[in-house]
A and B are shown apart, each in its own frame.
Chain A
Amino acid sequence: MPDALALVATAAGKLTLEGLRLAGRGGTALPGLIALTLDPDFISALAGGLPHGVVCVSGTNGKTTTARMLSDILRSSGWEAIHNRSGSNLDRGVASALLADATWSAEPRGNVGLFEIDEASLPGVVGRLRPRVVVVTNLFRDQMDRYFELDALAKRIGEALAGLPRETTLILNSDDPLVASLALRRDAKTIYFGVDDPSVGGVVPQAISDATRCPRCSSPLHYDRVILAHVGEWSCSNCGLTRPARDVAAAKIVLGPSGSEIVLAGTVGGIFEPLRVPIPGLYNAYNALAAVAAAGALGIGLAEATRALVNFRPAFGRHETVQVKGRTLRLVLVKNPAGFNAAIGALLETGRNPRILAALNDRDADGRDVSWIWDADFEALAPSVEHAVITGVRSRDLALRFKYAGLAEDRMEVVDSSGAAIDRAVALAPEGCEVAVVATYTAMLELRAALARAGMVSPFWED
């Protein structure tokens, strides 16, 4: 039975939520913030009442897509998930999701919690949720003005995970040495996922890697295969630490322009049919592996999980497509070099010469330091670009990045307002063509707002 404080916090939070709804606002964090201010233990009080427990999904890239995939799987198995779907993934977003699905007497209406947690917030939140399953997708450099250093962050996450109950299952990316070694301090259930297909990735180290040193002994890591940044087939020749055996493995991946097919293998068993992931990009294949592995930890079978993903629809800015005047806009959110490289990898895999609408902002949610664009592999993208329209608060930095990567002046132009930039990109693309809209978080919100004003999409909080 929830205590009096939780009841008060629930009432105040729900009143805020109703008030925002009446005002036509879709604020996703404020009700949670109010509840947490009144009752700092609000999250534990409500999450404790979920019969199937709580799943946390964290990591630098892919949490939203992975959590959405898992949500589809849970729903198709008849579970009712309370999910912080709108991408507000700090603790207040978790609290808001609990509020929205709680009765006025502070009891949850769902039977399982599914929470995306910002990787920097994870160490502080995960103990309060006492999760049944924790998924960590990957750890890359991201918005360093906020998080500072990746090594230090991985250490804090490892310590927090080490403090969880023994029953908690960790779902970890075996191919990311920083993530795989999060279980080093812990003797508990771990399910590893990874890509075994030898045709994926190359032997040459990529220009930018965040973790080229062994997480245990700091010696240089050896790579038999590099998939993305420091993700790949790694081992330490000094201390012998090596990529853990995969429980959910992609034995073969076929990447296509609108999705991929994965032949699954590993200790969790195989299935006859391939896993079909209906959004493109190798990184989305990783997200699907993580979701299927998490479902397995909750007792949902591979075949059932695979079936549930067939009709998966992407989240805001995660390869979401919008039709505008006979052109397809593909919305791809980027926020760090690894995410950018993965996104352009998906564009280049199609073999087409991409038309791009690129937008760079430097507000808090984007990361105030735009230096990261110099770590992203624009050099791989520039030779294929048909045309780029560039906008955003820091459009000129982005244009300069394209210039130094070798994109000719007559293939790019800077347009100041979001609406005008969309018009220009659409006008330049022949009918039937696709325009890849690559933008940071608040820049994507502005582009989407411009599309909403033109009646092309619904506002994202109705999602």
Chain B
Amino acid sequence: MDLHIAHLYPDLMNIYGDRGNVIALSQRARWRGIEAEVRPYSVGQWADPDWPDVWFFGGGQDQGQDIVGADLAGKNGAGLRRSVEGGAAIFSVCGGYQLLGHEYVPEVGPAIPGVGILDVTTRAGKKRFVGNLLADSTDGQLIGFENHSGRTFLGTSAKALGTVVVGNGNNGEDKTEGAIQGKVIGCYLHGSCLPKNPWIADQLLIWALARRHGDVKVDPLDDRDELAAREQAIGVARARP
């Protein structure tokens, strides 16, 4: 069995260690005997938008985000939408999450359109949310570190990924963190997210493998190290938000 992982704009959207999510996806596949290949998808004509089973889209600096936004406004955005309709999964963080929504509304100037895959909208905020982020979800607690000034609000088609316990999450107002819609996940969890929240990584693997391999059961891994890192990080988040 094999897995195709696309890393979106790794040259421009690679801030805050989000690359760890790609490392986690590919290692957790390889440890189960699944061959994982990672390919970069950056600015310009994409060679094969139908290749990926799962896309990763991380956060970036402002300059990077502007260039990426413009790139996704063209053919590549359409290719990404078609890929999701064809059964591919997406995991996105911070800037990537914002760009998957309908639009980003800056403090001044016109709204910047997003890809519209997630039913969310983001507005610029004055105060930057920086700190440990802990959220409850039905599948387990989510732990990470947030660093964003955008305030993201969910529409009716997107469900919150979790409920904030420590930190600010989507917007600092409604206690929601992240969004999930079909096989697409967005969140504000840096950290990196997937190594310390391995059940999300495994959910993404199951979704991704289903695209070409049908319903696949993934074997459980020995996650004691992952759980120990979670516990330590949760302890820090509670003591020093």
Binding site for B on A (CB under 8 A): 141, 144-145, 148-152, 207-209, 212-213, 218, 220, 362, 368-375, 393-397, 399-401, 403-405, 414
Q: A207, B17: Cβ atoms under 8 Å? A: no
Q: A374, B61: Cβ atoms under 8 Å? A: no
Instruction: Select A374's contact among B19, B130, B228, B240, beta carbons within 8 Å.
Output: B19
Instruction: Select A368's contact among B14, B145, B225, beta carbons within 8 Å.
Output: B145
Type the 1/0 row for B15-31, where 1 means its CB is closer than 8 Å to any CB of A: 11111100110010000
Chain B neighbourhood of A362, CB < 8 A: 236
Instruction: Select A369's contact among B12, B27, B190, beta carbons within 8 Å.
Output: B190
Q: B62, A144: Cβ atoms under 8 Å? A: no
Q: A400, B190: Cβ atoms under 8 Å? A: no
Instruction: Select B62's contact among A149, A208, A371, A405, beta carbons within 8 Å.
Output: A149
How many angstroms from the CA of A365 to the CA of B16 in the assembled complex? 17
Q: Is B128 an interface residue (CB 8 A)?
A: yes
Instruction: Select B27's contact among A213, A218, A404, beta carbons within 8 Å.
Output: A404
Q: Is B67 an interface residue (CB 8 A)?
A: yes
How many angstroms from the CA of A151 to the CA of B27 in the assembled complex? 32
Number of A-B contacts (CB under 8 A): 103
Chain A neighbourhood of B64, CB < 8 A: 213
Query: Are A151 and B147 also in contact (CB < 8 A) when A375-B14, A396-B228, A397-B233 are?
Result: no
Query: Are A404 and B24 also in contact (CB < 8 A) when A396-B228, A399-B229 are?
Result: yes
Instruction: Select B19's contact among A148, A208, A397, beta carbons within 8 Å.
Output: A208
How many angstroms from the CA of A400 to the CA of B198 in the assembled complex? 12
How many angstroms from the CA of A141 to the CA of B240 in the assembled complex? 23
CB distance from A3 to the nearest CB of B (A): 38
How many angstroms from the CA of A375 to the CA of B15 in the assembled complex? 8
Instruction: Select B195's contact among A145, A151, A404, beta carbons within 8 Å.
Output: A404
Q: B232, A368: Cβ atoms under 8 Å? A: no
How many angstroms from the CA of A401 to the CA of B20 in the assembled complex? 9
Instruction: Select A212's contact among B12, B18, B130, B190, beta carbons within 8 Å.
Output: B12
Instruction: Select A209's contact among B11, B147, B191, beta carbons within 8 Å.
Output: B11
Q: B191, A371: Cβ atoms under 8 Å? A: yes
Query: Are A400 and B229 also in contact (CB < 8 A) when A144-B15, A375-B17 are?
Result: yes
Chain A neighbourhood of B196, CB < 8 A: 397, 400
Instruction: Select B23's contact among A369, A374, A397, beta carbons within 8 Å.
Output: A374
Q: B14, A208: Cβ atoms under 8 Å? A: yes
Instruction: Select B145's contact among A145, A209, A213, A401, beta carbons within 8 Å.
Output: A145
Q: Which residue of B lies closest to A209 (CB)?
A: B11
Chain B neighbourhood of A371, CB < 8 A: 16-18, 20, 145, 190-192
Q: What are 17 of the A-B contact pairs (CB < 8 Å)?
A: A144-B15, A148-B147, A149-B15, A149-B61, A208-B14, A218-B63, A368-B145, A368-B240, A369-B147, A371-B17, A371-B190, A371-B192, A374-B23, A375-B19, A396-B232, A404-B24, A414-B228
With contacts A148-B128, A150-B61, A369-B147 known, what are 11 further pairs, Cβ within 8 A? A144-B147, A207-B10, A207-B19, A213-B64, A213-B67, A371-B17, A374-B20, A374-B23, A374-B195, A375-B19, A404-B27
Chain A neighbourhood of B192, CB < 8 A: 371, 374
Query: Are A151 and B62 also in contact (CB < 8 A) when A370-B145, A371-B18 are?
Result: yes
Chain A neighbourhood of B131, CB < 8 A: 145, 368
Q: Is B226 an interface residue (CB 8 A)?
A: yes
Chain A neighbourhood of B24, CB < 8 A: 404
How many angstroms from the CA of A394 to the CA of B226 in the assembled complex? 12
Type the 1/0 row for B210-232, where 1 means its CB is closer than 8 Å to any CB of A: 00000000000000011011011
Q: 3 nearest interchain CB pairs?
A: A374-B20, A371-B17, A374-B17
Q: Which residue of B lies closest to A376 (CB)?
A: B17
CB distance from B147 to the nearest CB of A (A): 6
Q: Which residue of A lies closest to B230 (CB)?
A: A396
CB distance from B231 to the nearest CB of A (A): 8
CB distance from B54 to the nearest CB of A (A): 17
How many angstroms from the CA of A208 to the CA of B191 in the assembled complex? 16
Q: Which residue of B lies closest to A375 (CB)?
A: B17
Type the 1/0 row for B127-167, where 1 means its CB is closer than 8 Å to any CB of A: 01011100000000000010100000000000000000000
Q: A395, B17: Cβ atoms under 8 Å? A: no
Q: A151, B232: Cβ atoms under 8 Å? A: no
Q: B15, A141: Cβ atoms under 8 Å? A: yes
How many angstroms from the CA of A151 to the CA of B20 in the assembled complex? 22
Instruction: Select A395's contact among B62, B191, B232, beta carbons within 8 Å.
Output: B232
Instruction: Select A396's contact among B11, B23, B61, B225, beta carbons within 8 Å.
Output: B225
Chain A neighbourhood of B19, CB < 8 A: 207-208, 374-375
Instruction: Select A397's contact among B16, B147, B229, beta carbons within 8 Å.
Output: B229
Chain B neighbourhood of A148, CB < 8 A: 128, 147
Q: B232, A397: Cβ atoms under 8 Å? A: yes
How many angstroms from the CA of A396 to the CA of B191 in the assembled complex? 13
Q: Which residue of B lies closest to A395 (CB)?
A: B232
Q: Which residue of A lies closest to B24 (CB)?
A: A404
CB distance from B47 to the nearest CB of A (A): 17
How many angstroms from the CA of A220 to the CA of B43 in the assembled complex? 10
Chain B neighbourhood of A396, CB < 8 A: 225, 228-229, 231-233
Q: Which residue of A lies closest to B23 (CB)?
A: A404
Chain B neighbourhood of A369, CB < 8 A: 16-17, 145, 147, 190-191
Report B169-189 residues with CB < 8 Å from chain A CB: none
Chain B neighbourhood of A397, CB < 8 A: 196, 229, 232-233
CB distance from B91 to the nearest CB of A (A): 14
Instruction: Select A393's contact among B15, B16, B228, B236, beta carbons within 8 Å.
Output: B236
Q: Which residue of A lies closest to B227 (CB)?
A: A396
Query: Are A400 and B225 also in contact (CB < 8 A) when A144-B147, A368-B131, A393-B236 are?
Result: yes
How many angstroms from the CA of A393 to the CA of B190 in the assembled complex? 18
How many angstroms from the CA of A213 to the CA of B62 in the assembled complex? 12
Q: B195, A400: Cβ atoms under 8 Å? A: yes
Q: A213, B232: Cβ atoms under 8 Å? A: no
Chain B neighbourhood of A370, CB < 8 A: 145, 191
Q: Which residue of B lies closest to A337 (CB)?
A: B17
